[in-house]
Chain A
Amino acid sequence: MIAEIGHFALVLALALALIQSIVPIVATRYRDTVVMGVAETTAVAQFGFVTIAFASLITCYVVSDFTVATVFENSHSAMPLIYKFTSVWGNHEGSMLLWVLILSLFGAFVAIFGANLPLTLKVNVLAVQSWIAATFYLFILITSNPFARIAEPPFEGRDLNPILQDLGLAIHPPLLYLGYVGFSITFSFAIAALIEGKIDAAWARWVRPWTLAAWMFLTLGIAMGSYWAYYTLGWGGWWFWDPVENASLMPWLAGTALLHSAVVMEKRNALKVWTILLAILTFSLSLIGTFLVRSGVLTSVHAFATDPLRGVFILVILIAFVGGGLALYAWRAPMLKQGGLFAPISREGALIFNNLFLTAACATVFVGTLYPLALETLTGAKISVGAPFFNATFGPLFVPLLIAVPFGPLMAWKRGDLPGVAQRLSGAFAVAAAAIVVTFAIAGGGSILVPFAIGLAFFVMVGAVTDLAERTSLFRAPVALSWIRARGLSRSAWGTAFAHFGLGVTLLGIVFETHWGAEQIAMVKPAQTLSLSGYDFTFRGLTQRDGPNYRELSANFVVRKDGALIGMMSPSKRSFATREMSTSEAALMTRGFSQLYLSLGDQKPDESVAIRIYYKPLVLLIWLGAVVMMFGGALSLSDRRLRIGAPRPARSKTALQPAE
């Protein structure tokens, strides 16, 4: 019964979405404000019904109702409650339901919190949002119904894929979807603006909080996914340039570019046409990401859905929205008036530089991900494009970008003073130079790239601090005055500094982990000791225990540093009976920002085991940097001008739209 309620609620949501797709657009033609208001009601109601559908599905999982096909395939009565809960979206059908839940949530947010939006813009945004929602409800109902029943229900479920039985599944997909789907709002705003033929700085200000929120979730979602892969896949890597990872990185790169170009548009009324294009592209990349993952076109570690009907359906959605969006753009964008003149050396110029390199990086990832597929389709030749390619191309594109980061915020609008900014960055240059020299001295020669990368990381971090110091006249004015200035500084200025600082932190972590990480692979017998990077690991034998739905074999190690005991580490292997699978659970020990990482291999009859030991210096900085970036986004989001409301929109319109 509960499954049927969920199914029915989803059908009702589709019906509401269809109403919301058409009625507001027609009503704006006739300027009927009462009928236009329908969109707000339907948006909230849609969210209500999708919530009912989602809650029904959760109930089916929690009570282990194996008459529902997806529950049978992805759950087990002995699974801990948290995994019963998370396995709702640990499969294709459920994760699509989560996708539309978040989509309708954002729609409801626009309806509820969009009080300061002009009514026409608001209902048009809701209408466009509903086009997306309607197609995805249809997709779920036609190809991926999560509520389908089994005629002869079995006694027990097939269990969730053991790799997914992890807290990471509770965190990573919802965050990632909040980011992916959050960009749908930006897309809807862009399309609505193109339909209205009206776009101005006020538009940019309305769009910015949504972009920021989506960007924050995506940043954290990607970082959490990376950490999850790091501790769960057992070989200590944190980024694999897997197509599915690339699918989430592309919207992030485009979204980051959008975030920066929207600033120019908001402050200087320039880059309008470009910002609209980026808004369309960012969500298009999210859709492409969904397509790549959901259609199984690029089968990779993550893919757990393969069904041609689904693939074709998503491809049609993709072509309709990306193609339609870009066609509308090509038709209407030339009518938008450009504004805001500026010299090449200026804040605007710096932000264009940022956009150029971010989109170039995005294009590189895009082509690298799809090239093998395209080449095979066109010529039949099979090639691989993997991590070494991306490292060789993505890196050089990011270096100029990182060098430019500290310059941007210090540059004046309209016309900047490059030598002046360089002079104000002299502190950052000095620290970076010192870091390079020290690294070079300690590393004792070797590649010049490593000291340079360390110097770059420090340059970015100190540059961010310099920005704040300059704005508060730190060291130049009395401390009390600096304090007053710091308090008066807008939160978005703080946000910029934090986000840029976080970028430097991540870079530092990446360089340290990549170049000074140590690894040892060996067979150990009980009581034998292995040493790595000053740590001694003594093997104390194996222990076995039973978990709720698995058996676990742990290898126990005593860890010492300079003879002093610092703890125990027990990497283990779990075997899950239902799926006859086993997973390897790495043991991690955090030392400051560094980690020790143990991963267990096969055991021999004589009680010796294969073990892989890693020392990962400053590895936590990689994800901590992302958290700092996200915190910067949150500060910026809480900026007064975004909370209080937007300025009056400009009155100018294109010739197409008669004045109201």
Chain B
Amino acid sequence: MHRLFLFIWLMGVGATPVLAVQPDEVLPNQQLETRARNLSRELRCMVCQNQSIDDSDASLARDLRVLVRERLNAGDTDQQVLDYLTARYGDFVLLKPRFDLQTALLWLLPAAFVATGVLVLIGIARRQPNSGNAEAKLTPAEQARLDDLVGSKNRYEENET
């Protein structure tokens, strides 16, 4: 029983919200800092539950934030920073997975879903047995009757003027 409470307690502590980015981490160079923040939002805090290192107050997230800033200060491009972190921590660190064989299904699904939907809809529209009904031609008798009615209306209008 005690172990269970300890576990619940630990779970609670993990979720304690405090400040994420600390004032002493902020870079003096405004441009670099903006890039660092943008990169932070794309990187996962690996000990947290679905939080980016920008949001998290875990010490690992702090280390990663400092590391990102170090790399940027050393002159890395954004992509180089991401590559550096992926090489160290694996794909798990990226909140936006790379496009590769493993994630092709994930990335292509939205477009594939819409495309399939459109194809199915076209198929159904073609297959609709009496879709001609909506635009069916009038029989000669109906056409004659219509002409008669329209004609008489026209004659009426002509008489008016």
Instruction: Please name the residue on chain A nearest to B55 by beta carbon.
Output: A235
Shortest CB distance A398–B (Å): 11
Q: Assign chain B's interface to a size class.
A: 35 or more
Give chain A residues whose Cβ lies under 8 Å from the Cβ of B159: none
Give chain B residues whose Cβ lies under 8 Å from the Cβ of A162: 12
Within 8 A of B (CB), among A593-614: 599-602, 610, 612
Within 8 A of B (CB), among A350-392: 352, 356-357, 359-361, 363-364, 367-368, 371, 375, 379, 381-389, 392
Is B23 part of the contact surface with A, judged by Cβ < 8 Å? yes
Give chain B residues whose Cβ lies under 8 Å from the Cβ of A368: 106
Give chain B residues whose Cβ lies under 8 Å from the Cβ of A387: 41, 52, 95
Interface 0/1 of B14-51, CB less than 8 Å to A: 01111111111010000000000000011010000111
Do A397 and B19 form a contact, CB below 8 Å, given A371-B106, A579-B9? no
Number of interface residues of A (CB under 8 A): 67
Q: CA A359 – CA B120 in complex, angstroms? A: 14
Pick the contact of B95: A300, A367, A386, A580 (CB < 8 A): A386
Give chain B residues whose Cβ lies under 8 Å from the Cβ of A612: 19, 21
Interface 0/1 of A68-85, CB less than 8 Å to B: 000001000000000000
Pick the contact of A388: B16, B18, B96, B107 (CB < 8 A): B96
Q: CA A304 – CA B15 in complex, angstroms? A: 11
Do A523 and B95 form a contact, CB below 8 Å, given A379-B102, A397-B114, A415-B134? no
Q: CA A381 – CA B102 in complex, angstroms? A: 9
Q: CA A610 – CA B19 in complex, angstroms? A: 8
Pick the contact of A385: B15, B42, B97 (CB < 8 A): B97
Give chain B residues whose Cβ lies under 8 Å from the Cβ of A163: 12, 15-17
Pick the contact of A363: B42, B95, B110 (CB < 8 A): B110
Shortest CB distance A347–B (Å): 14
Do A393 and B125 form a contact, CB below 8 Å, given A233-B17, A301-B15, A382-B92? no
Name the segment of A133-141, A205-213, A479-487, A581-589 touching the other chain: A581-589
Is A237 part of the contact surface with B, judged by Cβ < 8 Å? yes
B9–A384 contact, CB under 8 A?
no
Interface 0/1 of B107-137, CB less than 8 Å to A: 1011001100110010001001011011000
Instruction: Please name the residue on chain A nearest to B9 by beta carbon.
Output: A579
Q: CA A240 – CA B48 in complex, angstroms? A: 13
Is A396 part of the contact surface with B, judged by Cβ < 8 Å? yes
Is B68 part of the contact surface with A, judged by Cβ < 8 Å? no
Do A364 and B131 form a contact, CB below 8 Å, given A379-B102, A388-B96? no
A384–B94 contact, CB under 8 A?
yes
Give chain A residues whose Cβ lies under 8 Å from the Cβ of B23: 521-523, 601, 610
Is A344 part of the contact surface with B, judged by Cβ < 8 Å? yes
Q: CA A342 – CA B131 in complex, angstroms? A: 8
Instruction: Please name the residue on chain B nearest to A400 by beta carbon.
Output: B114
A158–B96 contact, CB under 8 A?
no
- Chain A interface SS verdict (over half): mixed
Instruction: Please name the residue on chain B nearest to A361 by beta carbon.
Output: B110
Is B78 part of the contact surface with A, judged by Cβ < 8 Å? no
Instruction: Please name the residue on chain A nearest to B7 by beta carbon.
Output: A306
Q: CA A73 – CA B117 in complex, angstroms? A: 49
Q: CA A237 – CA B56 in complex, angstroms? A: 12
Pick the contact of A242: B19, B50, B106, B110 (CB < 8 A): B50
Shortest CB distance A119–B (Å): 35
Give chain B residues whose Cβ lies under 8 Å from the Cβ of A522: 23
Give chain A residues whose Cβ lies under 8 Å from the Cβ of B11: 304
Give chain A residues whose Cβ lies under 8 Å from the Cβ of B131: 341
Within 8 A of B (CB), among A617-643: none
Instruction: Please name the residue on chain B nearest to A246 by beta carbon.
Output: B50
Pick the contact of B106: A73, A301, A385 (CB < 8 A): A385
Q: CA A396 – CA B13 in complex, angstroms? A: 38
Instruction: Please name the residue on chain B nearest to A385 by beta carbon.
Output: B97
Do A356 and B50 form a contact, CB below 8 Å, given A581-B16, A582-B16? no
Do A584 and B22 form a contact, CB below 8 Å, given A363-B109, A381-B102, A384-B94? no
Q: CA A344 – CA B128 in complex, angstroms? A: 12
Is A299 part of the contact surface with B, judged by Cβ < 8 Å? yes
Give chain A residues whose Cβ lies under 8 Å from the Cβ of B128: 341
Pick the contact of A344: B52, B95, B125 (CB < 8 A): B125
Within 8 A of B (CB), among A225-273: 232-235, 237, 240-243
Is A22 part of the contact surface with B, judged by Cβ < 8 Å? no
Shortest CB distance B3–A (Å): 13
Do A397 and B95 form a contact, CB below 8 Å, given A299-B49, A341-B130, A581-B12? no
- Additional pairs, 17, CB under 8 Å, beyond known A361-B110, A381-B102, A414-B134: A73-B5, A158-B9, A163-B17, A235-B20, A341-B133, A342-B134, A360-B110, A363-B113, A364-B110, A364-B113, A382-B90, A384-B95, A386-B96, A393-B110, A521-B19, A573-B18, A612-B21
Residues of B near any A CB (own CB < 8 A): 5, 8-9, 11-13, 15-24, 26, 41-42, 44, 49-52, 55, 90-97, 102-103, 105-107, 109-110, 113-114, 117-118, 121, 125, 128, 130-131, 133-134
Can you give 15 contacting A-B residue pairs, CB < 8 Å?
A162-B12, A234-B19, A243-B50, A301-B49, A343-B134, A356-B114, A360-B114, A361-B110, A364-B110, A386-B50, A386-B96, A387-B52, A388-B95, A612-B19, A612-B21
What 7 pairs between A and B have smallest CB-CB spacing?
A: A386-B95, A601-B19, A388-B96, A234-B17, A382-B92, A360-B113, A300-B49
Residues of A near any B CB (own CB < 8 A): 73, 158, 161-163, 232-235, 237, 240-243, 299-301, 303-304, 341-344, 352, 356-357, 359-361, 363-364, 367-368, 371, 375, 379, 381-389, 392-393, 396-397, 414-415, 521-523, 573, 579-584, 599-602, 610, 612
